[in-house]
Amino acid sequence: MRYCNFSLIVDNRSLYKPILLPSGPLGVEVNKLKKRYDYHIENFEFDEKVSNERIRCSGYIFWQRKQVIPSTLRGIQIYIRNVGIGLYDTGLMNFSTVNPTSRAGQMSGELYVEEGLERALNVDRNSFRETDAHYLALQQRLWNILGSGTKGDGIIGKSVESYYARKSRSDDEKYGFHINEMEQYVQNISNGNLGIAFSRKETQEPFTYKDGKIVVYENSPRWPKSRADRLQIQRILIAVKAAIESGKSREEILKILEELLLRN
């Protein structure tokens, strides 16, 4: 098989097939991206008889956590027998009338109609008659795939799950950094004589000291509910506790507090 060096440039923009997604800033990080956290792909299959005529098509809807770039790829492109009808439909077949989602700009898709829908074409063959039974059936199928803002409901619901999954992952990373930071604090303040441990045991006491070890009880109701506030207060209290148990002077304790609370 022979290959030729072929490229297509329109309005100073290189066109590719298949379309390269993720796009924009995410496109350069593609090796770091993870499905569920950063993008979703939903396959599109439709094969039914509507008004005694068959409509058969397939395709995909792609969502990424940032806006699709260029903007001309946002929405869905419908093809009939491999011929594109108009431009990308950024309204996703009028989806905004039932769900004005802010995630529409994060989606791109292609729908290939193999049979049917031609009767819905307007005379210009560049748009559709939106009251046609084939168009309405396809529209409903697309809307079902898009879903809603409820977690897990369609690709939009999965995008909501992605947000919380990324937030949870970020919180876990920050917590791991916090534990390492506190271990280092205690080691430095006590010259390596004290240790620290974090416990999920439910108790009223936020922390205790015994046998050269400070134990932090994360589930104590006395800690602030806000994670950011809890971690900051732990940094202060545990550092002071380590300083006291290490026999530091008042001036040394004040110096530790200055380093924790004030800018350098």
The arithmetic mean of pLDDT across residues 207-226, rounded, is 94
DSSP 8-state assignment for residue 105: G
Choose among 205, 178, 177, 208: nearest CA to 195.
Answer: 208
Q: Does 252 have pLDDT greater than 80?
A: yes
Residue spans per domain, the chain? 8-146, 173-261
pLDDT tens digits for 115-129?
Answer: 999 999 999 889 999
Q: Which helix H or strand E contains 239, and what residues bound it? A: helix 227-245
Cα–Cα distance for residue pair 55/118, rounded to 1 Å: 9
The arithmetic mean of pLDDT across residues 17-44, rounded, is 86
Which CATH architecture group holds 8-146? 2-Layer Sandwich (3.30)
pLDDT band at 149 (very low <50, low <70, confident <90, very high): confident
Instruction: Quickly count: other Cβ atoms within 10 Å of residue 105's Cβ.
Output: 15
Q: Does 40 have pLDDT greater than 90?
A: yes
Cα–Cα distance for residue pair 194/242, rounded to 1 Å: 7
Choose among 132, 133, 161: nearest CA to 147.
Answer: 161
pLDDT band at 152 (very low <50, low <70, confident <90, very high): confident
SS3 of residue 203 by DSSP: coil
Task: Provide CB contacts within 8 A for 18, sequence distance 6+.
Answer: none
- pTM for the complete prediction? 0.74
Q: Give the C-alpha distances (Å, rounded to integers) separating 221 from 3, 218, 228.
A: 68, 9, 15
Per-residue model confidence (pLDDT) at position 102: 81
Per-residue model confidence (pLDDT) at position 125: 87
Region label for 212, one of left (φ > 0), alpha (ψ between -120 and 50) or beta (otherwise): left
Q: What is the CA radius of gyration of the chain?
A: 29
pLDDT tens digits for 59-99?
Answer: 999 999 999 998 999 999 999 998 999 999 999 999 988 88
pLDDT band at 16 (very low <50, low <70, confident <90, very high): low
Under CATH, which number does the domain 173-261 receive? 3.30.2010
Q: Does 23 have pLDDT greater than 70?
A: yes
Task: Tell me what the pLDDT averaged over the chain comes to.
Answer: 90
pLDDT band at 2 (very low <50, low <70, confident <90, very high): very low
Q: How many CA within 13 A on the CB side of residue 64?
A: 21
Cα–Cα distance for residue pair 92/146, rounded to 1 Å: 9
The arithmetic mean of pLDDT across residues 30-51, rounded, is 91
Per-residue model confidence (pLDDT) at position 32: 87
Q: Does 57 have pLDDT greater than 60?
A: yes
Q: Does 19 have pLDDT greater than 90?
A: no
Per-residue model confidence (pLDDT) at position 18: 64
Per-residue model confidence (pLDDT) at position 13: 65
The CA-CA-CA angle for residues 171, 173, 177, to 5°, reads 115
The CA-CA-CA angle for residues 20, 24, 25, to 5°, reads 125
Task: Provide CB contacts within 8 A for 195, sequence distance 6+.
Answer: 183, 186, 212, 213, 214
Choose among 47, 40, 42, 41: nearest CA to 138.
Answer: 47
CB of 216 within 8 A of CB of 188? Answer: no
Cα–Cα distance for residue pair 176/161, rounded to 1 Å: 22
CB of 77 within 8 A of CB of 89? Answer: yes
CB of 217 within 8 A of CB of 206? Answer: yes
> In the beta sheet, which residues pair with residue 197?
215
